[in-house]
Structure 1
Amino acid sequence: MKIVIQKFGGTSVSTFENREKVVKKIIDKFSKGYSLVVVVSAMGRKGDPYATDSLISLVNKQNVSKRDLDLLMSCGEVISAIVLSDHIKRRGYETIVLTGQQAGIVTDSNYGEANVISVNPERIMRHLSQNKIVVVAGFQGADENGEVTTLGRGGSDTTAVILGEALKSEVVEIYTDVDGIMTADPRIVPEAKLIEKICYSEVYQLAENGAKVIHPKAVEIAERANLKVVVKNTLNECTGTLITYPETYNYSIDKNKDNIITAITHKVGRVQIIIYSDGNEEKIQKLMNEIAKNNISLDLINLLLDRKIFTIDKKDLGKLKRILDRSNIRYNLIDNCCKLSIIGNKMSGVPGVMAKIVNALSNEGISILQTSDSHTTIWCLIKERDAHKAIKVLHKEFNLGEE
């Protein structure tokens, strides 16, 4: 049995016309002899009747338990699955709709951000053996007590790849409203081009650092399962972007050419915090413990002898300032920052990449507030007002655009 998972996002199933295009892709694949599991997100976005945010807006979140909120949010995907199933049946094909729980997805009890513990694919396999197209409501599962849980934003991607792993599928196709993964956001850089093949580590960094192409959890699962994932556009017939291990596709690394960067992304709403030690390391340690207890996530961490520098999400700024003021510790902050991520699996061991970035930004009068790096990524903290200009400059500097 050759199994393929197809996942369709909210915009793909938001209108009758789009759903008809989705059905065409499903039937085209099915007619080629593949057994199909179709995973769907809730229809549309906020403002659309059955979108997740629209469902949440029906209640006062302060009065509703996390358990009940998960029950409510799970309805959007169930509605979407049944509506799409109806479209397929009109074409004469047999389908079965399953919730995440019915599809065998077992999670922990962390409502709103549940982690998948196990998957029992037996029920799906039984329906596939009966030549049915299985339509699964994404974004959800159930804990060991049978309580419905949701997997967090982007959870339908997680559903698709976790089922792909359990069913040993040949490929997972993620359909969305873009042609695939681009070298930069085309709304910022019009000449950004499609990346035909990309490795898991690069996509993870893209997803983690602002690019809304696929959920980071889904990338982690795909990598551990060595599962091929293709990101495609629902609305056309483009080949999309293949996500796989780098050794499974061929590229030559010419260290004399500017082909070492794969893509650039960014994340706004960052705040840089500088805490001055003033020789009191014990006080600093207590402060850091207090920050951790309050679930404030730190990023771009630089620990120096006389100061500690890091960034936080702007939504945590009020909470952090209260902690800092109570601690009576000298600090400074820079608001309205942007974390720029320059990503390339081929940059490891190549000298001069950071220097090239610094020179390119400096020549355009863009100040770098902080930097950090890993084997695949260089991060630069800049002011939000410079974000679009910086992305365009670096995209051109590393020859990432269409020729």
Structure 2
Amino acid sequence: MRLIVQKFGGTSVANQERRNMVVNKIDAAKKKDYFPIVVVSAIGRSGDPYATDTLINFVKSIGVEPNPREKDLLMSCGEVISCVMLANTLKKMGYECKVFTGAQAGIITDDNYGDAEVLKVEPDNILECVEKNVIPIIAGFQGVTEDGNITTLGRGGSDVTAAIIGEAINAEIVEIYTDVDGVMTADPAIVQDARVMETVFYNEIFQMAEYGAKVIHPRAVEIAMRSNMPLLIKSTLTDNNGTLITNYDKSRRYRQDKDENVITAIAQIGNRSQFKIKFDGSANQYEKDTILFNLIAAEKISIDMINIYPDVKMFIVDGVNESKLISILKAQGYNFQVIPNCTKVTIIGNKMRGMPGVMAKMVEGLSECNIEILQTSDSHTTISCLIKSESTNAAVNALHKKFDLGRNKL
């Protein structure tokens, strides 16, 4: 039997009209001879009656923060409500279905409440439903510890649920439904002619998520990549083809890449602060790389875009950690400079590996708009430039145009 996992986000189940659209997607899968296993997120977004953030704020209104275990219990409720609402909609349309919590679906996790790691999946209940021609409706974003405590998988965790279940039952494909038509070449709120990509490599989509694009949970991509399971990002609201995330396994009968661009997409992540620390004797015995970086690590501050020279150390941190890091450096007497309000803009493309001239083209595109580059970093498939945040929109548009990623190229 051809198994398909269909995951529907919070906006896809926000009201009855949307839930009816979800039923149409499930029905369409059945008509293509797939058996659907459905994963659902909590209804709506913050402010909506049953959204996860709404439930959290409801409890916080008492004036006491719930402990992590009880907070996970609370946060798991939103997905259960979504599941029951969707199940009743499906039953009204004549389908047999059965609702499962993450625990009932066999998702076993560690006890890191709020961001639990899946240890294993025991899919017996799901497969029993398939054998009986009953559609499983599974609450995303949650699991259970081996001693029975409910856990949640972190923001975007329903994507992880869909991927891990797909892997456990050997699904042919996992469809992720949202309110956009697929993965875009850039943020459409910034770039008007950003377009939906037909196909993307796993490592490219992982880089996009890692470098700021709100596409899909990186852990879901890791799971799909290790099991060579295609992911398809689609819209609940349209019948457009969406974006296929794959390794381009020629044995699978899916769309193949026709785009010869070296660069696939552009992502950006803001609110970064650049630190430049000078080793000029000001901090005396503290001016050793090991001491400096261990001090930062001890405060659980993550650093990025790291450049180390004998007399200067440069890196960026999330802006939320800026004041904490300033206090640490001042306490030890370091001589340092900070540039706040920066954005890391990244071009991504699997085909840039070993391709000369990509950096030159990126620098040229930013230079043509008089955008100063504060720092750079790169890998085989990415090049990042740090710029002032006030230039973010101009930079992303300039690079999108420079690398010919717009709709009109097609």
User: What secondary structure does 1:80 align onto?
Assistant: helix
Q: Give % identity.
A: 52
Aligned to 2:309: 304
Shift of residue 281, structure 1, vs aligned partner: 7.2
Gaps of 5+ in 2: none
Instruction: Specify the alignment match of 1:26 in structure 2.
Output: 26
Aligned-pair CA distance for 1:252: 7.3
Shift of 1:315: 1.1
Task: Output the amino acid matched with 2:59.
Answer: V
Residue 328 (structure 1) aligns with: 333
Residue of structure 2 equivalent to 1:210: 212
- More off after superposition, 359-368 vs 155-164: 359-368
User: In the TM superposition, what is the alpha-carbon distance from 1:142 to its structure 2 partner?
Assistant: 0.8
Structure-2 residue corresponding to 1:314: 319
In 2, the alpha carbon distance for the partners of 1:281 and 1:212 equals 43
| Mapped partners of 1:288, 1:183: distance in 2 | 36
Q: What is the identity, as a one-letter code, of the residue corresponding to 1:184?
A: A
- Give runs of aligned pairs for residues 231-380 of structure 1, distance below 5 A: 231-246=233-248, 248=250, 250-251=256-257, 259-278=261-280, 282-284=286-288, 285-380=290-385
CA contact (8 A) 2:194 2:407 kept: yes
**Following TM superposition, by how much is the alpha carbon of 1:343 offset from its aligned partner in structure 2, in angstroms?**
0.3
Tell whether the 8 Å contact from 1:253 to 1:346 is kept in structure 2 after alignment: no
Structure 1 stretches of at least 4 aligned residues deviating more than 6 Å after TM superposition: none
For the Cα contact (< 8 Å) 2:186–2:267, is it kept in 1?
Answer: yes
Q: Secondary structure at the match of 1:365?
A: coil
Contact 2:6 2:36 in 1 (8 A): yes
Distance 1:27 1:281 in 2: 69
Distance in 2 between residues matched to 1:251 and 1:94, nearest whole Å:
38
Aligned residue number for residue 83 of structure 1: 85
What is the CA–CA distance in structure 1 between the aligned matches of 2:352 and 2:231, rounded to whole Å? 23
Judge conservation of contact 2:194–2:405 (CA < 8 Å) in 1. Answer: yes
Kept in 1: contact 2:286–2:332 (CA 8 A): no
Q: Is the 8 A contact 1:4 1:171 kept in 2?
A: yes
SS of match in other structure, 1:324: helix
Query: 3-state DSSP class of the match of 1:212?
Result: coil
- Residue 114 (structure 1) aligned to one of 88, 113, 116: 116
Instruction: State the distance in 1 between where 2:235 and 2:123 align.
Output: 28
In 1, the alpha carbon distance for the partners of 2:377 and 2:219 equals 23
Moved more, 214-223 or 273-282: 273-282
Give distance in 1, aligned partners of 2:286 and 2:246. 46
Aligned counterparts of 1:10 and 1:278: Cα–Cα separation in 2 = 53
Deviations along 1:324-370, whole A, 9 cap, x unmatched? Answer: 12121111110000010100000011101001111110111100001
For 1:120 and 1:357, how far apart are their aligned partners in 2?
Answer: 48
Question: For 1:162, what is the secondary structure of its paired residue?
Answer: helix
2:397 is aligned, of 384, 392, 395, to 392
Partner in structure 2 of residue 42 of structure 1: 42
When residues 311 and 71 of structure 1 are mapped into structure 2, their CA distance, relative to the original with a 3 A threshold, is same
C-alpha distance in structure 1 between counterparts of 2:350 and 2:276, whole Å:
31
8 Å CA contact retained: 1:273, 1:333: yes
Correspondence for 1:201 among 203, 217, 227:
203
CA-CA distance at 1:63 after TM superposition: 2.8
Across the aligned residues of Structure 1 and Structure 2, the Cα RMSD in angstroms comes to 1.5
| Whole-angstrom distance in 2 between the partners of 1:75 and 1:228 | 29
1:152-231 to 2 correspondence within 5 Å? 152-231=154-233
SS, match of residue 12 in structure 1:
helix
Q: Residue 266 of structure 2 aligns to a residue in which SS?
A: strand
Q: Measure how far apart 1:282 and its partner are.
A: 4.8
In 1, the alpha carbon distance for the partners of 2:402 and 2:305 equals: 24
Amino acid paired to 1:58: F
2:17 alignment partner, SS class: helix
Question: Which residue does the alignment assign to 1:63?
Answer: 65
Q: 1:37 to 1:375 in 2, by over 3 A?
A: same
1:13 corresponds to? 13
Cα distance in structure 2, aligned partners of 1:347 and 1:251:
16
TM-score, normalized by length of structure 2? 0.94
Measure the CA separation in 2 of the matches of 1:245 and 1:366: 36
Specify the SS of the correspondent of 1:264: strand
Q: How many equivalent pairs are there?
A: 399
